[in-house]
Structure 1
């Protein structure tokens, strides 16, 4: 349980760090717009409920897929093809920025630890003299 909580803390710290980057915020807003436009489209064109349409959009963007829904109209199929290509690219870009923020955060902690240990060794060697 402790390792899970530490992982969640690291993820949330990475999200906070990522939100400080302009590119991450832009991609995040674009994904929200994709979810909104997809939800509106599937609600209007394919007669899905708002919750089902949003669920389909999230499942599609995250590349999980929706096993029981296939668009019935030609317009729905064309929209879905474009939605998958554009949305998957945006989602992967978001994940890449988040991963970079987490990795950069880990490197900063590692560097800070090295500096601390180096100072402690210098202090110890100076006190020995």
Structure 2
């Protein structure tokens, strides 16, 4: 439990650092807008409840193979979902990669370690 709490604190601190970057904010805003469009689509076209639409919209963008039991029934819904997933999964992976980068950078700063890239750059400057 302590390990989980320490990891959660480290993740939240790294998110605090990442949220200051314009690219991160742009990705997050775009992902939220895409998600909102999915929720609106699934509630209006597929007739799902808001909770089901929100759940499907978020879970389907996380790159896992979880079978959530929901699938669009209409042809238009299936076509929309294909486009939604292509755009949304790409954005989600980019956002998760930026979070991972922030966590690694935060860990390096916290422990005082320098990255391999930084050491190579320092070595090139000396020569």
Q: TM-score, normalised by structure 2?
A: 0.83
SS at match of 1:95: helix
| Number of equivalent positions | 113
SS at match of 2:72: coil
Q: Does 1:62 align with 2:88?
A: no
How well do the aligned residues superpose, as a CA RMSD in angstroms? 1.6
The corresponding residue for 1:13 is 13
Conserved? CA contact 1:59–1:66, under 8 Å: no
Q: Does 1:51 align with 2:47?
A: no
SS at match of 1:61: coil
The corresponding residue for 1:83 is 84
- Structure 1 gaps of 5+ residues are 113-129
Conserved? CA contact 1:27–1:94, under 8 Å: yes
SS at match of 1:48: coil
Structure richer in helix, relative to its length: 1
- Structure 2 gaps of 5+ residues are 114-127
Per-residue deviation, 1:26: 0.5
Say which one has the larger Rg.
1
Conserved? CA contact 2:34–2:88, under 8 Å: yes
Matches within 5 A, 1:1-129: 1-64=1-64, 65-111=66-112
Conserved? CA contact 1:14–1:98, under 8 Å: yes
